[in-house]
Amino acid sequence: MGNRKAMFASVFILLLLGICLVPAFAEDGVTTGQDAIDSMAAGRLNESELVTNEAMSVDSASDSTDAVKPEKPKSVYDLASEHVVDLADGLYAFGSSANSGFVLDVPGGTASAGRKLQLFSGNKTNAQVWRVSHDQNGFVVIASVKGCTLDVSGGNASNGNPVQLWSDNGTLAQRWIAIKEADGSYTFISALNQSFAIDVAGGVAANGSTVQLYEANGTAAQRWVLTPAKTEQQQLDDRAEAHLADFPDGTYAMLASNDSFALKPASGSLSFDTFACSCIQTFDVSTTSDGYRTIAIHGAGTVLDATGGNDANGTKLQTYAANGTKAQKWIIEKDGERYRIVSGLNGQKVADIPGGSIVSGAGLQLYSANGTAAQSFCFIDPTVVRSDLDRLASDNREVVKDGDYAIAAGPDLSRMVLDVAGGSTSSGANVQIYQSNTTAAQRWRVSHDDDGYLTITNVKSGKVLDASAGSTSLGTNVQQYAACGDANYAQKWIAVPNGDGSVRLLSPVWQQRILDVAGGSLNSQTNVQLYAPNGTAAQRFTFIAASPASVNPCDDILKDKGWSVISPSSNGSVAFDVAGGSLKNGGNVQTYSCNGTLSQLFEAEYRDGYYVLRNAGSGKVLDVAAGDVVPGTNVQQWDESPNDNQLFSVIANEDGSYSFINKGTGLMLAVSGSNLVAAAPGDSVQTSFVFAEQEDLLSEGLYEIYPSANSSHVLDVASASADSGANVQLYSNNGSFAQKWLLKKVDGAKNTYTFESVCSTNRLAVSGTNVCTMAPADVKAQQWVARIDSNGIEFLSADDQGLSLDVKGGNFASTSNVQVHSSNGSAAQRFRLRATSATIDNGTYFIRMASHAGSVLDVSGGSYSDGANVQIWQNNDSGAQKWNFSCNGDGSCNIVNAASGKALDVKDGAASSGTNIQQWSRDGSAAQRWFIDYVPGGFKLSSALNGALVIDVSGGDSANGTNVALHASNDSRAQRFTFGATTYVQPLPADQQAMYNRAQWYNSNTEWLILTDTGGCRTGIFRGSRGNWRLWSFWQCAPGKNGSPTVLGEFSVYGKGISFGHGYTCWYYTQFYGDYLFHSQPCYTGTFNVKDHTMGRRASAGCIRLTTDHAKWIYDNIPYGTKVVNY
């Protein structure tokens, strides 16, 4: 009985155990998903039954044995119950612990059954928002807010099985256990098999990484960082609420980003049109109960609407009856100074101008936000704008007073002003900027209306400055137009100060439009327009009174200043300078490195409370060009006149410098760059100057001296004489050495000078009342004192300063005598100096000793040989004393004897003191090149071998035969020379000279003459005229033989032909008498092959035979009528 009882108990216990094991067995073998079976939870025993059975089992077991059983593993249900509180229900984004920037994502945002999941970078879209909830068993259910539930593909818990979306079916394939890890992340265990978890394939967190099921391994690939998330709609709602404060409800005009076009409705459509504040469509912006905005046409029942409720790119925006849908709800967000309009349908889509083309007629669409100007808008309240503009006009009415002005554009000293193109007086004429020229087309009359707005009227035309058609478009042209009355804001302006004396001119057509120089180009003829404010110099204008305030006179504070160099106080190395030494009205005045010239010498002369500043070189005074009041006006020189633009009030500064204010313009004398200008006080230019008074007014150097009244005639040594006592006269300028003078200061004598003639080294001197050149001596008769006034330089004799250099009778003509005369201030006593040089021109010269002009360089014995000595000899006009000079590119000269053709040469090229000078065949070496410079006392000739070595006359002796050699330069008279221009004609051979002499007696009807010596068998061609015939060519010929002589006498050319002959050919004949001709030698018939070469003796039948070339030359060049003489 006991055994049967025990058996029964065992069987009963086994049955109970089998029943208890059914859920676990079903859990291991369940099939879910699309092949789902009933949930095993329906057959699961409750906890109390399980405890009772377990107790029974224990009790039964205790009857048979005392053995301990091992603990049974927890079921997934137990695990779910244990972790049910780890994760609260809600919306989450699932970030991978491998990289939390990548989250669980529905590819393409399309939720459908079978859609495999991936990782993707977080973007806050609904494709990445997951709704977490728990079922009745404590399992986690994860559903996409886009639809469908997280599911294990095929209900198969195996490595690599994808995690997907599927329609909710309640199976364990869609159930998960969320286990919170120590670091706050979560592991999601599959309810299919607690050994598997949601896993990122390969542990790689990247866009597109596969999400799968894999055996739990505790890696970051299976842990997920959950952050609370919101749906796109929730985000959009929050966004709407967050931006309510960006923009208040009200009535507004809606403008495109460039403020030039405003939105207007028309028959349900919307488009932009040119914005004009006076006739603008407005919209009512209001807030809905859920925090969005509606944008309704003012006065109508329609609102801004996305057609068809569609949020696709390109969806047209229209006006439509209000219906409360998201298609009519908007978020208006601050975008810098403007706004973007976000659709309530989709926070990624905004109002957009198609193609970004902001033009008249452009519509509106929805498009993905891209931050471009096509998605940026401006809302304005026209009533507020007008009120603000009125207030701005009133506040700034005193910035520019009523009056006439030049209106300068751009930075200080730009000199560009508003100008009516072409000086037109027509309505619609363009307004531009142009270099200031003081014309009425550049003068503008400012007046104010009662509200403080400016009207700017052109003085010449009477037309007003006008924004064309009242348009607010960027680039709207500005013109002049007939005034249209106070209501026309296109003709009104507000001058808003910039704080630096300039203003910006705001147009009241729209608060964001100001006067602008197109393209920022500050060049003449650049257009002006309306443009958005940008703070550039192109929008900076300065009103300059056309009639400046009076300038107070000054005391004669410069009365002790004589002729002075005037320099900027900051830089004494430069000085006021008349550019190029100009003597003309309009000559520019600049600053230039100090050079001691009269162009830099000025004197301040007092004129009833003001000064003129006179230049010593020109006698003219500083002049503010055209009296132009625009800063930067050029300062020039001009003949003195009563004009105020030449008068300056002088201010003595504390540092000893002076400043000059122009009476006519109110501008200050200033240096801009290196130029002298008139500038406004405070401009960033140098306006203080210092005087350096000069005791010696003239600078040493080479000059031509000419009367101020006639610059074409100069002081000239008559006949270029080198004699002491040579007369000085006036003569037309020819650049010769007789007209060049070396000015030197006299040591120890203030402002006293000598003038040394370059042609002789003799000095300008007084002899009685005459002026001549005299051998240098330290006597006052050879010294001159300079006095400068507006008419030029007066040269007073140092011997008697009551006598002035004077052109006799004031007759400015060649050969007029120069004398001294009592000072009388006449033009005959006023001269100017013109800087010159003593460069020797190519030509033939005597090389004379400066101390003895009759002694010259000479080739000993007139030799033609290399090595012939060069010496000093009394001038005998021979070729041995004449030298041909030719200049080289390096400034040196070759000096070749005219007779021998050999060069002046340093013997053996030895660059040492004492080396002999000889003549030698030309070889171009440095031994034959000479540098020639005029220095006090005459010219020195330096060797190209060594510039310190010069030609030297032994002992300075002028005796015949004195040797010349190289010697170290010592400035002695033995090393000084002058040059006397001459000519040299190479002697002709006897036969040519005889024909030449004969030719001079004949006339010809042309410039040509032909002579033939029939005895000497020579033909000569001459060119010129009677007494001045020059031998052009001299040829052998073959005249008529004794039996048929050539005709003798005087004849004329009257016929020509190409050829003649029978059995031979003679070419190129020229006929001068009957059948007598010049022609070629006889040639074989029809050829140029000479048949008879006889030449130089009588051989013809009477004609004059020549070579073919010579016969052709006469045929080609000698005209009819030319005289032919045969003798």
pLDDT at 485 (0 to 100) = 83
pLDDT at 5 (0 to 100) = 37
Helix/strand/coil for 1010:
strand
On the question of pLDDT at 103 being above 60, the answer is yes
Confidence tier at 71 by pLDDT (50, 70, 90) = low
Could you confirm whether domain 395-545 is CATH 3.40.228.10?
no
Average pLDDT over residues 434-454: 97
CATH 2.80.10.50 maps onto the chain at: 82-229, 233-382, 395-545, 564-693, 701-835, 843-981
Average pLDDT over residues 34-62: 33
For the chain, the residue count is 1127
Confidence tier at 39 by pLDDT (50, 70, 90) = very low
Q: Which one of 2.60.120.10, 2.80.10.50, 2.60.120.200, 3.20.190.10 gives the CATH number of domain 82-229?
A: 2.80.10.50
Average pLDDT over residues 921-945: 98
Average pLDDT over residues 718-745: 98
Return the percentage of the chain with pLDDT > 90, whole number: 88
Confidence tier at 74 by pLDDT (50, 70, 90) = confident
| pLDDT tens sequence across 589-620 | 999 999 999 999 999 999 999 999 999 999 99
On the question of pLDDT at 51 being above 50, the answer is no
pLDDT at 281 (0 to 100) = 83
User: Which residue would you say has higher pLDDT here, 73 or 187?
Assistant: 187
Single out the residue of 97, 99, 116, 96 nearest to residue 108, CA to CA: 116
Cα(678)–Cα(688) distance, rounded to whole angstroms?
12
Q: Are strands 1123-1126 and 1008-1013 parallel, antiparallel or unpaired?
A: parallel
Return the percentage of the chain with pLDDT > 70, whole number: 93
| pTM for this prediction | 0.67
Average pLDDT over residues 892-912: 97
On the question of pLDDT at 6 being above 70, the answer is no
pLDDT at 987 (0 to 100) = 87
* Cβ burial, residue 341 (10 Å; 0-12/13-18/19+): buried
pLDDT at 279 (0 to 100) = 64
What does the longest C-alpha to C-alpha distance in the chain come to?
A: 196
946 — alpha (psi -120 to 50), left (phi > 0) or beta? beta
pLDDT at 626 (0 to 100) = 97
On the question of pLDDT at 155 being above 70, the answer is yes
| Structural domain 990-1126, CATH architecture | Beta Barrel (2.40)
The mean predicted confidence, pLDDT, of the chain is 92
pLDDT at 66 (0 to 100) = 42
| pLDDT tens sequence across 1063-1111 | 999 999 999 999 999 999 999 999 999 999 999 999 999 999 999 999 9
Confidence tier at 72 by pLDDT (50, 70, 90) = low
Indicate the residue type of 315: T
pLDDT at 277 (0 to 100) = 65
| pLDDT tens sequence across 846-900 | 999 999 999 999 999 999 999 999 999 999 999 999 999 999 999 999 999 999 9
CB 271 within 8 A of CB 362: yes
Q: Which fold has domain 564-693?
A: Trefoil (Acidic Fibroblast Growth Factor, subunit A) (2.80.10)
List phi, psi (to 5°) of 143: -120, 140
CB atoms within 10 A of CB 693: 11
pLDDT at 64 (0 to 100) = 36
CB atoms within 10 A of CB 1001: 10
Cα(650)–Cα(604) distance, rounded to whole angstroms?
10
Q: Which one of 3.30.9.10, 2.80.10.50, 3.20.20.140, 2.40.40.20 gives the CATH number of domain 233-382?
A: 2.80.10.50
On the question of pLDDT at 56 being above 60, the answer is no
Single out the residue of 695, 707, 664, 914 nearest to residue 795, CA to CA: 707
Structure tokens at 495: 């001058």
Q: Which of 270-274, 370-374, 950-954 has the lowest mean pLDDT?
A: 270-274
Cα(1008)–Cα(544) distance, rounded to whole angstroms?
75
Could you confirm whether domain 701-835 is CATH 2.80.10.50?
yes
Confidence tier at 683 by pLDDT (50, 70, 90) = low
Handedness of CA 577, 579, 583, 589 (dihedral sign): negative
DSSP 588: B
Cα(490)–Cα(276) distance, rounded to whole angstroms?
10
| pLDDT tens sequence across 629-681 | 999 999 999 999 999 999 999 999 999 999 999 999 999 999 999 999 999 97
Cα(293)–Cα(332) distance, rounded to whole angstroms?
7
Average pLDDT over residues 775-798: 98
Confidence tier at 936 by pLDDT (50, 70, 90) = very high
Q: Which one of 1.20.140.10, 3.30.70.3340, 3.40.50.300, 2.80.10.50 gives the CATH number of domain 843-981?
A: 2.80.10.50
